[in-house]
Amino acid sequence: MVSKTLTIHNGEKTPAIFSKAEMAGRLAKLRKLMAASGMDAVLFTSFHNINYYNHFVYCAFGRPYGLVVTQDDVTSIVANIDGGQPWRRGYGEALTFTDWTRDNFFVGVQELVAVKGCIGVEFDHMNLEMHQKLQAALPDKEIVDIGLPSMKQRLLKTPEEIELIRNGAQVADIGGAACVAALGAGVPEFVIARHSTHTMVQEIAKRYPDSDLMDTWTWFQSGLNTDGAHNPLTTRSVQKGDILQSQLLPDDRGLLHRLRTYPLPRPCIRRTSAALGGELSGASPRVGVDPSRVALL
């Protein structure tokens, strides 16, 4: 008989950006919230919460992923296509579901969650079909929301998170400087963005040598393309006198940072950078520099 779920411990756990004490602290606060709300289990399904509580970023490709947290355990529910990587990267355990029959994900949920009681899920992430399938898998379980309470917990940053944010801002600064270095009349947008992205990835690898190098990228727009902040990168060549706009997004293991420069002619970008002491993101502004000066440029 083909297994519906299995455990894959392949290799050793990989070094994490956050300490064990940091991850244990996050889970302790969550479990305190669960106890106060009468939840005996939580099923997270979003990228951000699975990463926040388990330090693992999944790649869905049409498959559901989850993280079950109880008062005693933390276990991700992952697809067989990922092999042992979810366990190696994750803080907790990992239960793998196979694709031999449909909805084996929910078989994994049944294995990890008590039949009765109350389970918290993310109402802002779980669609109606997923909710109905979960209710069918756990017919005697009350389903309540954990999305909003967990978001409030994530808003309060710890010293380790602040340090990572500071590093991410510095990496974005380096990407911004790379944009300026590659900039010139006749240079296509994608060439400038590619140079910036490559520079940021190299810096991330240097600062975090055990990193997963994930979705670092650069938005760079010129001329008419600057009318939308999320307009796609194009082959358009920059022309003299163009308005320019960029967004630098270094990704440290699924923790995305962003530096945005608003549409400004190139001379104004230079003056803005100088006012911030050369730091485009303001991550390390000079003491005594009034940010309102930047707005007046």
Residue 11 CB partners (closer than 8 Å, separation 6+): 84, 88
Whose tokens are 């969550």? That residue is 30
User: Environment class of residue 11 by beta-carbon count within 10 Å: exposed (0-12), middle (13-18) or buried (19+)?
Assistant: exposed
Give the SS3 label for residue 288: coil
Tell me the C-alpha distance between 190 and 130, whole Å: 39
How many Cβ atoms sit within 10 Å of the Cβ of residue 6?
A: 11
What are the helix and strand counts (H, E) for the chain? 10, 12
Reported as type and span, the H/E element at residue 221 is: strand 217-222
Query: Which among 176, 213, 1, 210 is positioned nearest to 88, based on CA atoms?
Result: 210
**φ and ψ at residue 108, rounded to 5 degrees:** -60, -40
198 part of the active site: no
Tell me the C-alpha distance between 114 and 41, whole Å: 8
Length of the chain in terms of residues written: 297
Catalytic residue among 131, 195, 230, 257: 230
User: Environment class of residue 125 by beta-carbon count within 10 Å: exposed (0-12), middle (13-18) or buried (19+)?
Assistant: middle
DSSP label of 240: T
Write out the catalytic residue numbers.
230
